[in-house]
Structure 1
């Protein structure tokens, strides 16, 4: 299928042929009819991507701070490589569309195949022929609303949420600063609400468009225009001023904020909808005691994964207007004739022409505020039931449907990938910039998942390994698969995980998906006779551990490795060697300065993914086990009252004791991991995998590394060699199981308040 994408590093904008997305539970697969170009948000993103690296840094100081924090933890070389990899990827564009439901996932049965719907979301409602949309970001289009107008629903919801934040009342007066697409919709909503409106914009045609929609008067933001609007407001309000000011402008000028103070009445509300500079002039805002409010996107529910992805609605008695209800309300206004958007449609363009359309909008050749992409009938057919499987267990589509392919379109300028095959895969003869490897003497590897960790820590090593042929990569999102294929030279990219699991020519499967899916994919990979490398954790429950062991026993296939890479780190192995053998029990202390997670992190979804320690703690328990040489026989855990820090004590079979402190409230500049060990008159310390020190009778021995190496390359090499030779796995299965059960036991100890046997 075709999808519009942009490389944020180079600024290149292309129409790519990508595999279609899977139809997952809790949503529907939608064939796009029209998608709306956001001439504000999207053009800002497009222009930002064309900046130099320094320009990008100035435009996104928040991202620069994250990079600097990462550099402290991981070193400048690793951080640079990770940042460049993320920049040099295709990212999607679009967030507002109208289309037809072609497949229904389980839990989304309120929709049916053939329903015309409007959809929202900058991760879902993309400029693409097919999109998977979760239920709370999708609404049916009422009879009488044409698809071209229904495609405005998302931006309409943004404007509506801004108006709701102002709490306007009949007979009041408002000023809208910035009459682009959002501003024009705000004007129409205010007029429909019985509010008198004045508008401000630098483009005269936009002012006339707003006046035609019912604005009392509009003018430019210069001194003459401001004076004119003051005069209009004096006349219409009896000298009071505007009750509400809506900031719908963008850019780096502080003019809109200053003009807002000038036109506002005493104690007026100023609502920021756009992304504009907010350097508030203190005196002006203080003297009028202006109430500054922000409007967050489409409404309540935005950025809440429980609402958007899991479909958990807010009770209407507590939250009257959610983002989905705003979407539906806007469409209802269109259906009733209370809202009109036809005059905002400035042009309709084939999606294949996206590159030229964005260039003309950027260069000012195309004018107007509302431009649409239109789509031919999708060329990508959906095959048999469950043909597209999400990278999570139990997610096959409940209502399959076939979509007839349209005639092939000419490739877009700059597109590097050929049209997708009928099986939903993209299969180039060779990836750009990647030498074609002979496959006769190499191991064919398939990847399920290709997120940040896989693309920064695993795939660079595998792509450089002469014994490996990267065969197929399967991801939930179409562009993720294409990005991995482009960067690392996979033969095939797909959104169907079964393609990897069922391919008889694939020797080895890597599972790098979200935690809750690991055990299922491991079992299926082992049952298919593959060697399996799975990132930690192996499983989230004891039952799933037992399930994996049952599959191993039934199939005789024990070719399993978990990505416990720290035991392979060069400084760790060197430190353990120099520490030497110990005749009695050891004492080990492991401090993990884990830091706080971004509120949007999927790690925080404990109901689905388990606790944060359950997801990551296996690394530290395995490292301790590797140091001591014996598995733990008892686990005790305690947590601080604010649940920020976790302390785990492990008692091992040889009498050794290990304490793991997992702290999330520390400073991000402090090293993430520090391991201390003592026994038989010796001490050892590993500082963040960059310095190793041993203290003994012969003195102090210090070894340093130029960068931080946590052993990923060495772990992969050991695994691949074992697979190739048929030798024992680098980590014994009993050790993997002991670590996994001990990690699970941490949560059990916290719940029971007692020591737990793994």
Structure 2
């Protein structure tokens, strides 16, 4: 399928042929008929992409701070790789489409194949011939609705949500600052809802268009007195509400608002506007300030958007989907005029040329709609038929996120006798981006084709946690050597199924517990390996807070103890080298019993030789505190590893620094070992019993904390 993308490092716009996305269980695959270009939002993204790195940093200082924190935790090299990979990637454009449902997921209940829909969402409803969109971001269309006009539903929902935030009453008078796409849609919706409208824009043509299509009055800031215009329309009382829909770095709209609004009036910010509020005039009129967030309730909530779990209408009357539906109802009832808002309908094949000139021509368009080839066909696999190479290690990969492309793939690429053969990802753009960087022979969005590919002898599972066990089982049943990032499984049932699959498989299994491969951990291992005395190990992990929108916090992905603590359990078992007998889990906090709050825990492991490992994992530490700190002691000597940056040995009454040439966490060495295992030069350090034990310790730690008892392993 054709898809438009931008490289955020170079700013390059490209219309490329990529695999069509897979259809997941909670959504539908849509064959796009029309997609709407949001001139303001998308032109800003294009302009941002064309900035140099210094300009990008100045424009987004909060992201610079994130990079600095990443450098502190990962080091300069790893942080640079991570940032550059994210910038130097094919990023989709667009977030509003209409089209035909051609596939449905197993959990979809309100849509079926052949339904026409309007759909929205960044990274979902993109400018592409096919899009996977979750059900809650789709609205079914009747035959009475113009399909082209329906492509505006997502942006119209932004306008509707802004109007709702002001809590307007029938007959009130409003002002709209910025008569672009959102402003024009707001005008149409407001006037049909019984509100009088003052249209304000620095572009005289847009004000005239607004007056022609229903505005009660218009004003141009550089030509007219906005306060007088507001008073003239309201018999001297002032506007009931003022909406800021434009993107501006000027504080003038915020400073003028108190003069234009009545006592206790409302100011609603919808655009990207500077909001330096002058206290006195806002206090004097007791004005109310509202922020309007995107399409409405449900936005940025993974349960609502990704898993299509709706909010009860008795508690949340209008969600983002119901806001979209409100607009579709207005179209169906012929209550609004939106045809004039579409400045041009353009064939999608011209999209790259259009975007390359958007910054210069954006003022001439209110909006542009792309039309798509109705005969486009689904193609999910591309085979580039590279000449056969007699590589010893031939890799097939499922999943290609930022971690894989920055920490694993570059190390594999540098190894001799290694070939990237096949790749499956959720989206075609991601697959094509990885192909260009790592020279895959075959790419697609169907993981089954990678698993059954006879040309590979190493299957790497690098997906989200919830699909680890199913892909491992399929790989083992196909007799593959399977590498999987942690965790092995999310619960005991998944673990049991993996064990059963391994029993009858000719394949093997390797889990990405990379820290045991790091030079620092192995120096500690060598220091203490000859000490035949009990050891005490303390491992503090400042895991860091994650926003609820992060996929790690998705309800289907387990919790962070199951997802990440296996790293630290494996490291403890590797260093102590004795059979664990008991585990005790203790939550930090009272009554923290649901799955998504079990992220702060003390795990105490007791071993047969009398050793004890104490793993303290928490998410509430300061960002400046290094993530990992390990301390081990035995027989009157100790070693301290501070975030893999420094290693100090304490012996004979004095500390001594140990030189670490490679200060990484073992990813490079892990990939080297993995390749050597496939070549037959090394033995797999993991057997099924051991991998099962590591997972069981995390499961039993949670059970221990829930029950308040020590559990025997």
**TM-score range for the pair, normalised by the shorter chain length:** over 0.9
Q: 1:721 aligns with which of 670, 676, 685?
A: 676
Q: Does 1:578 align with 2:527?
A: yes
Q: Does 1:349 align with 2:304?
A: no
Deviation at 1:220, TM superposition (A): 1.6
Aligned ranges 1:65-464 → 2 under 5 Å: 65-222=65-222, 224-225=223-224, 227=225, 229-364=226-361, 367-381=364-378, 424-428=380-384, 439-464=389-414
Quote the Cα distance in structure 2 between the aligned partners of 1:361 and 1:458.
37
Segments of structure 2 that go 5 or more residues without pairing to the other structure are: 593-598
Change (3 A) 1:49 1:706: farther
Q: 2:491 aligns with which of 541, 556, 559?
A: 541
Q: Structure 1 stretch 286-295 or stretch 724-733: which is displaced more?
A: 724-733
Could you tell me the TM-score, scaled by structure 2's length? 0.96
Quote the Cα distance in structure 1 between the aligned partners of 2:254 and 2:147.
36
Any conservation in 2 of the 1:100–1:115 contact (CA below 8 Å)? yes
Any conservation in 1 of the 2:519–2:660 contact (CA below 8 Å)? no
1:694 corresponding residue in structure 2: 649
Quote the Cα distance in structure 2 between the aligned partners of 1:722 and 1:752.
41
2:606 corresponding residue in structure 1: 651
| 1:624-666 residue CA offsets vs partner (Å, 9 max, x unmatched) | 0000012322110111226563111001122210100012111
Any conservation in 2 of the 1:74–1:708 contact (CA below 8 Å)? no
| 1:494-552 residue CA offsets vs partner (Å, 9 max, x unmatched) | 10001110111111000011112111111111111111100001111122222222112
Q: Structure 1 stretch 367-376 or stretch 282-291: which is displaced more?
A: 282-291
Q: Aligned-residue CA RMSD in angstroms? A: 1.6
Deviation at 1:556, TM superposition (A): 4.0
Q: Secondary structure at the match of 1:555?
A: coil
Quote the Cα distance in structure 2 between the aligned partners of 1:3 and 1:148.
19
Deviation at 1:578, TM superposition (A): 2.6
Any conservation in 2 of the 1:620–1:660 contact (CA below 8 Å)? yes
Could you tell me the TM-score, scaled by structure 1's length? 0.91
Deviation at 1:306, TM superposition (A): 0.6
Deviation at 1:361, TM superposition (A): 2.7
Q: Secondary structure at the match of 2:690?
A: helix
Segments of structure 1 that go 5 or more residues without pairing to the other structure are: 382-421, 431-435
2:473 corresponding residue in structure 1: 523
2:443 corresponding residue in structure 1: 493
Deviation at 1:281, TM superposition (A): 2.2
Quote the Cα distance in structure 1 between the aligned partners of 2:230 and 2:87.
48
1:24 corresponding residue in structure 2: 24
1:413 corresponding residue in structure 2: none
Q: Secondary structure at the match of 1:739?
A: helix
Q: 2:516 aligns with which of 567, 571, 577?
A: 567
Q: Secondary structure at the match of 2:404?
A: helix
2:596 corresponding residue in structure 1: none
Any conservation in 1 of the 2:219–2:229 contact (CA below 8 Å)? no
Q: Secondary structure at the match of 2:156?
A: helix
| 1:234-273 residue CA offsets vs partner (Å, 9 max, x unmatched) | 2332211111000001021222222323311222100001
Deviation at 1:11, TM superposition (A): 0.3
1:389 corresponding residue in structure 2: none
Deviation at 1:307, TM superposition (A): 0.7
Quote the Cα distance in structure 2 between the aligned partners of 1:274 and 1:705.
50
| 1:127-159 residue CA offsets vs partner (Å, 9 max, x unmatched) | 000011111000111222111101111111110
Q: Secondary structure at the match of 1:538?
A: coil
Quote the Cα distance in structure 1 between the aligned partners of 2:19 and 2:322.
32
Deviation at 1:698, TM superposition (A): 7.6
| 1:415-473 residue CA offsets vs partner (Å, 9 max, x unmatched) | xxxxxxx5x2233467xxxxx8x621331101101112111111111112112100111
Quote the Cα distance in structure 1 between the aligned partners of 2:24 and 2:362.
41
Any conservation in 2 of the 1:77–1:707 contact (CA below 8 Å)? no
Quote the Cα distance in structure 1 between the aligned partners of 2:209 and 2:579.
73
Q: Secondary structure at the match of 2:623?
A: coil
Q: Does 1:631 align with 2:631?
A: no
Quote the Cα distance in structure 2 between the aligned partners of 1:207 and 1:366.
13
Quote the Cα distance in structure 1 between the aligned partners of 2:409 and 2:672.
12
Any conservation in 2 of the 1:31–1:101 contact (CA below 8 Å)? yes
Quote the Cα distance in structure 1 between the aligned partners of 2:506 and 2:143.
59
Q: Does 1:596 align with 2:596?
A: no
Quote the Cα distance in structure 1 between the aligned partners of 2:537 and 2:229.
76
Q: Secondary structure at the match of 1:364?
A: helix
Any conservation in 2 of the 1:360–1:366 contact (CA below 8 Å)? no
Deviation at 1:365, TM superposition (A): 7.2
Change (3 A) 1:290 1:707: farther
